Structure 1
Amino acid sequence: MGKNFIGLDTEKTAALASSLNDLLANYQIFYMNVRGYHWNIKGENFFLLHEKFEELYNDLLLKVDEIAERVLTLGHRPAHAFSTYIETAEVPERKDVSNGKEAVENIVESFGKLIAKQRELLELAGEAGDEGTSALMSDYISGQEKDVWMYRSYLGQ
């Protein structure tokens, strides 16, 4: 059982990096979806949602970078082609969404997929003794659980 340069088991970090790349693909598709919602939103809630979507896509972009850098920290290469993202992601690509309610429903659905993947990564990271990935996933989950509550409240759910 070999160790990598930060003292973690190389087999376990390979599995973590693979899961992080899967998460990265989902974040990239989600990010592009939210950019599209921001650009195309119409209707009475335009000003509110246009601003909220910009806030969200800026946060997603930061997380994309953090996830890719975590893959590199573990000694692996982050996925970096949109063809890979589309093949890998469970978050579906959304096109031409201009209805606010539909966009917010898609956001809630996407967060559900991300949170589930992050919970799996949290467990894998714990088994590998990878506190860096654990902390990252824990932070993402706690913030996104609140986001889901707020978006669901907007939908009246």
Structure 2
Amino acid sequence: MSEFNSIGLHESSASQLAEKLNHLLANYQIFYMNVRGYHWNVKGSDFFQLHDKFEELYTDLLTKVDEVAERILTLGHQPVHAYSDYAKLSRIQEDKDVSDGRACVKGVLDGYQTLIALQREVLALASDADDEGTAAQAGDYIREQEKTVWMLNAYLSK
């Protein structure tokens, strides 16, 4: 067996990256379901604004779920795909029965902060492995989500 995978990365590095990306995938999946729940259940004077915003966010999260899983496959590994695995691997916990708009936004903020921290871990591993593809993906997600965190904090400070 070659010590390099099909895209030229050292197999041990690719394996470490795939493991870390599977943790990221699990967090994306749990976070996606949380935001979907906020969309369905939010109540209050900001209902229309938040309902639409949560739909925008969960749609983007679902796209990223697919992109992270496909990156794991590109590295030559298998993405986790069972909810029981997501629950075990995720730092983000299920957020049930939340309907207050501010609490929902706080849940979104907390989720993005967790994703950003995990993506920084992925970015560091990818940089060490000279994996530009994974590093670029993580960097793009971080940049985009940092702006979202700023906006969520601005919303919560009203």
Q: Give the TM interval when normalised to the shorter protein.
A: over 0.9
Normalised to the residue count of structure 1, the TM-score between the two structures is: 0.98
Are 1:109 and 2:110 matched, yes or no? yes
- Output the CA distance in 1 between the equivalents of 2:55 and 2:154: 19
In the other structure, the counterpart of 1:23 is 24
Deviation for aligned residue 1:67: 0.1
Cα-Cα RMSD: 0.9
Residue deviations 1:9-68, cap 9 Å, x none? 000000000000000000000000000000001110000000000000000000000000
- The code of the aligned residue for 1:72 comes to L
CA shift, 1:104, in A, is 0.6
Q: Which amino acid aligns with 1:26?
A: N
- Paired residues for 1:113-124 under 5 Å: 113-124=114-125
Q: Give the alignment of 1:76-115 within 5 angstroms.
A: 76-115=77-116
In structure 2, distance between residues paired with 1:96 and 1:57: 17
| C-alpha distance in 2 between matches for 1:99 and 1:41 | 6
- 1:84-141 CA distances to partner (integer Å, 9 max, x unpaired)? 0001100010111100100111111111111001001101000101000000000000
Deviates more, 1:57-66 or 1:104-113: 104-113
Q: Tell me which residue corresponds to 1:62.
A: 63
Residue of structure 2 equivalent to 1:127: 128
C-alpha distance in 2 between matches for 1:109 and 1:75: 31
Question: SS at 2:93's partner residue?
Answer: coil
Partners of 1:143 and 1:26 lie apart in 2 by 17
Count of aligned pairs between the two proteins: 157
The runs of 4+ residues in structure 1 deviating greater than 6 Å are none
The amino acid across from 2:8 in the alignment is G
Gaps of 5+ in 1: none
Aligned equivalents of 1:7, 1:69: Cα separation in 2: 17
Q: Structure 2: where are the runs of 5+ without partners?
A: none
Paired position in structure 2 for 1:3: 4
- The letter of the residue matching 1:106 is G
Compute the TM-score of the two structures, normalised by the length of structure 2.
0.98
Q: Partners in 1 of 2:37 and 2:110 — Cα distance?
A: 16
